[in-house]
Structure 1
Amino acid sequence: MSDASYRDAIFSTPLDRVARFSFDEQVVACFPDMIRRSVPGYGQILGMLGLIASRHLRHGAEVYDLGCSLGAGGLALAGTLAPDAFRYTGVDLSPGMVARARETFAAECPEHRMEVIEGDIRTLPYRPAGMIVLNFTLQFLAREDRDAVIARLFQALEPGGVLVLSEKIVAGDEQHNAWLVERYHDFKRANGYSDMEISQKRTALENVLVPDTLEAHHARLAEAGFARSQTWFQFLNFASLIAFKDTTTPAIPAERKS
């Protein structure tokens, strides 16, 4: 297994044409550095996953990590929970991410039941799950697909199950949003990104990462059937929500993988 990770310098030179952002091999190679310097609070969100699971996950239940990238969420869970406490399924569209996550789990937590599959979360057949994690994934889906995805995840969750949804957000008030964006750019500068890197990456992500407001997220969760949801973490324009499926909600048989 190669654990090589490189500094994110993808946008460090002037580009005549900035291509749309994608999770290609170049991004896979520098992803740990990229997300550490680009996503405020990412480590804190990961650190809480195991604690949330300890409180809300039925022993032995399925955990889905959708858009799992290199498997950091799975490692966080395995670092807190016993091998028999859960079964983990990570899902990602990037073959490079999937390959690296499999290598990491085999090396770091071989006694845990950790599976990683390449797949599309919009069409994936889900097993009944006690916890589903969407860490900075929904924002990359077309807006018209988001309601249907959350509805499918609600159906897949067991009664009493929880959904953890972390996203980059946009504020409804234009002045408030501008302040958040400006301070986020300050955060990136403090982490070593140049103004050119910030500008070029913002261009690459335009119409690729499209954020919603917190209010839109909570409304979508309620529409899907979640009994309640709350924002448990926010750092600038990044937030994490938790949504609870009522224990009295009748179980809807989820699709099983063939």
Structure 2
Amino acid sequence: MYILRASPIFSAQGTSMAVSRMHFLAASVSVLLLAACGKSADAPAAAPGAGMPPPEVGVVTVTPGDVGLLTELPGRLEASRVAQVRARAAGIVQQRLFKEGSDVRAGQPLFRIDAAPYQAQVASAQATLARAQANLGQASALAERYKPLVEANAISKQDYANAVAAQKQAEAEVAAGRATVQTAQINLNYASVTAPISGRIGRALVTEGALVGQGEATPLAVVQQINPMYVNFTQSASEALALRRALEQGRLKRAEGEGAVVR
């Protein structure tokens, strides 16, 4: 029968060896975990652009061509047509018929001047014309009645000549009466002041109640046609000279037709 005794040194060594093995196993597990983490971090990355379409790249063909010259110049706009609205009839302004700053049409009434005196003149002229026409009818009838009588020597030739002269005088009075009526009607029409052109009208230069047309054609307003318009540019002499030299040397070419654009 054999009896084994544990030696203290042996026990100490055995314990030391067991602890060492445990430390070794723990260290091995740690190394394996670190290695696994390292493999995961150090794994080869996917190739760039894998799974994405290739980028599109624009291509431009370079060809010679004309390049416009852009120049900024100070300028002033001007209306293509400007017309002053004036009173051609004398009288009191009774009404303004437009809105200041609005667009008006040619022939559109703008002001109304007191027309009562001109209406009276038209009526008087028409009455004078009617009287002249009545005299003409009487003179013509007398001349027609005297004509066969003078041929039959029933009246003197002088009486017939007087009748014919009276007829012609009556005809002249009728013509003068018609002209007087026409003149009176024109003056009556002037009592309604109309726009001479189409365009944009400015502020009124007179107000209701103003006396206009006394010895002169009083300005009432201004109408400007802004379609189309003129543009007056100003350029320094040095810039103009440089452009002229560039044109003469062939470095610049003059724009033809609608090539020059103003913005």
TM-score normalised to the size of structure 1? 0.19
Structure with the greater alpha carbon radius of gyration: 2
